[in-house]
Amino acid sequence: MPEPRSVVITGASRGLGLASATHLYRLGWRVVGAMRSPDAGLERLRSAARAATDDPRLIGVRLDLDDPESIAEAARDIEKAVGAPDVLVHNAGIAAAGGVEDMPLSVWNQIFSTNLFGPVALTKAVLPSMRAAGRGRIVVVSSQGGVRGMPSIAAYSAAKGALERWAEALANEVAPFGLAVTIVVTGTFATDIITEKTPDYRDFNGPYGSQYVEIDRRGRNAMRFASPPERFARGLARILDERAPFARHAVGLDARLMLFGSRLLPGRLLHHLIRLAMGLPRHGALQEQHG
């Protein structure tokens, strides 16, 4: 019997990572869940996957993307557990709410550390084994904010955009060695990254307060149509079977529409469509109000 394919998923203890790890395990993959707290996280994953405690197809490793030593140790644990992984999924990430003026620079640093610099460091650590094996795919989980800058989440949007540009560059670098890269743009899913787990730095009494109120109202309406994480997991599983050296996919109707618009519409028109969708004032409106 052939060895099962192996996949490493960061942030596998909750949200899209947990759903994806569970689904791929059930499809027969050997799953390495990389997480900050593997004791509690692996127990949660085993419960969701209905896996036995000693099942060798479900493995937990500790990973803190803000800690270089943790990243190096996680890479060693991954190689010890599965050798060169067939797939490395960069799913872990953090977000924060707040416009550019309201967001502290320390939070910008943390978001870039977790969402960009950490994935780059982990990839660098596992690439030697993947190159030696001559196979493997690196999957970067992005969002609509990575396609187009989104108001009130500028830091997160900037980090995801940078993550996509890094993945595009990496794809050309590793393709000659038989490796591939995929960017997955996610739509709106019912996870805690956009609810209770997201720090909020918005000043509702400041100059952007009225904008935040309207963005919140429309965001709550949009969440009524959010898809369950399991739908993302099914989409990811299909994507992992492709052979193209580089690909970008959208999972979720709103993500597909965003990619479609970004490819076909002029930037200025897309800017206005996003403004209208989020209920933001037209250019100069607040200047006139305070004039």
Structure token digits, residue 253: 């109707």
Indicate if 156 belongs to the active site. Answer: yes
Nearest Cα neighbor of 286 from 198, 190, 208 is 208
Angle formed by the axes of helices 118-133 and 154-174, to 10°? 20
Q: Which of 25, 156, 208, 212 is catalytic?
A: 156
The CA distance from 265 to 257, in Å, is 11
The CA distance from 27 to 275, in Å, is 41
End-to-end CA distance of the chain: 75
CA distance to 52, 150, 254, per residue, from 158 (Å): 41, 9, 19
CA distance to 28, 96, 103, 111, per residue, from 106 (Å): 42, 12, 8, 9
The CA distance from 56 to 51, in Å, is 10
Residues catalogued as catalytic: 156
